[in-house]
Amino acid sequence: MSANRKTEPLSFKGIALFTPGGDIAYCIDTQKQARWHISLCLALQQALGLAEPPHFLVPCYAATVDRWLDNRQQSVQTVAAASPLVLRYVPLLNAIFDTPDLVWQATDLPGGVCDPLVLASYRSQFPQLWQSHDLILRHRQVLAAEPPLMSQPTFAKAQGYVLRLFVAGNSLATERTLKNLHRLLGEFLQQPYTLKVINVTQHPELAEADQISATPTLLRVYPLPMRRVVGSLDNIEQLQGLFSVPDSSQENESEAQEHEI
């Protein structure tokens, strides 16, 4: 990365909420506001079409990282904890929060609340949560001038961008691609987005449907026209081109077309 690129804030709190199927909604909060889990439940409700917010996911499927500058020791301190039910997703957590090689501690779950039988009782009410949609949903930070977290959360399906990232297998290269992509999107994309990660070795039919011939490929599904970047995702100029949207006079003409960057 070039020296003039932004880095993750020195002080922040990251909160992630997983579903039993492996989807994730998360936020990176530099102001360390409270009640983010409520907003993440609302975001999952809207993204997956649930009848109500899945509050039972907290704390059973939650993870939290806190980073701050310790003035006394003149060093950056980081503490991270995750439910034992989501510790297997530590590589993904480190990628989205830009905390490479961070060791996550297992949280102590309250007795009875996260019992497998109790959790399974929600499956008939929230069947979508037990399905894997390869959903990585970043919930944007609420501005200080806005009422804190009382409005409905915004995300790509309602406003912003819908993206698909096609990768080949779960490898270190894939992890690096995800990490770089989240870093770059955080640098210049000022709108919410939904990113769906598709493993072409497991879902070749999805790759064929979107005419994917090489990996990694990042596909902008919405807004139209569709656009894609093939190969390295380190080039910020290419990504900026991916997110440029034509004006209304051009959009009608190019709506059904797709551009490759």
Two tokens, residue 230: 């093939």
pLDDT, tens digit (0-9, with 9 covering 90-100), for 174-201: 878 888 887 777 777 766 677 778 888 8
For residues 87 and 161, which has the higher predicted lDDT (pLDDT)? Answer: 87
- Do the strands 258-260 and 226-230 form a parallel or antiparallel pair, or are they unpaired? parallel
Q: Which CATH class is domain 156-261?
A: alpha beta
- Domain range summary for the chain, segments of one domain joined by +: 1-146, 156-261
Task: Return the top range by mean pLDDT from 16-20, 65-69, 194-198.
Answer: 16-20
Rounded Cα–Cα distance for residues 26 and 4 (Å): 26
Measured distance CA(93)–CA(115) in Å, rounded: 24
Whether the predicted pLDDT of 114 surpasses 50: yes
Lowest mean pLDDT among 4-8, 127-131, 201-205: 4-8
What six digits make up the tokens of 208?
């064929």
The length of the chain in residues reads: 261
C-alpha 142/C-alpha 160 separation (Å) is 15
Q: Mind listing the pLDDT tens digit for each residue in 73-85?
A: 778 889 999 999 9
Asked if residues 216 and 167 have their Cβ atoms less than 8 Å apart, the reply is yes
Could you tell me which residue, 1 or 52, shows the higher pLDDT? 52
Least confident of 22-31, 148-157, 201-210: 148-157
In SS3 terms, the chain reads as: CCCCCCCCCCCEEEEEEECCCCCEEEEEECCCCCCHHHHHHHHHHHHHCCCCCCCCHHHHCEEEEEEEEECCCCEEEEEEEECCCCHHHHHHHHHHCCCCCCCCEECCCCCCCCCHHHHHCCCCCCHHHHCCCCEEEECCCCCCCCCCCCCCCCCCCCCCEEEEEEECCCCHHHHHHHHHHHHHHHHHCCCCEEEEEEECCCCHHHHHHCCCCCCCEEEEEECCCEEEEECCCCCHHHHHHHHCCCCHHHHHHHCCCEEEC
Per-residue confidence at 245, pLDDT binned at 50, 70, 90? low
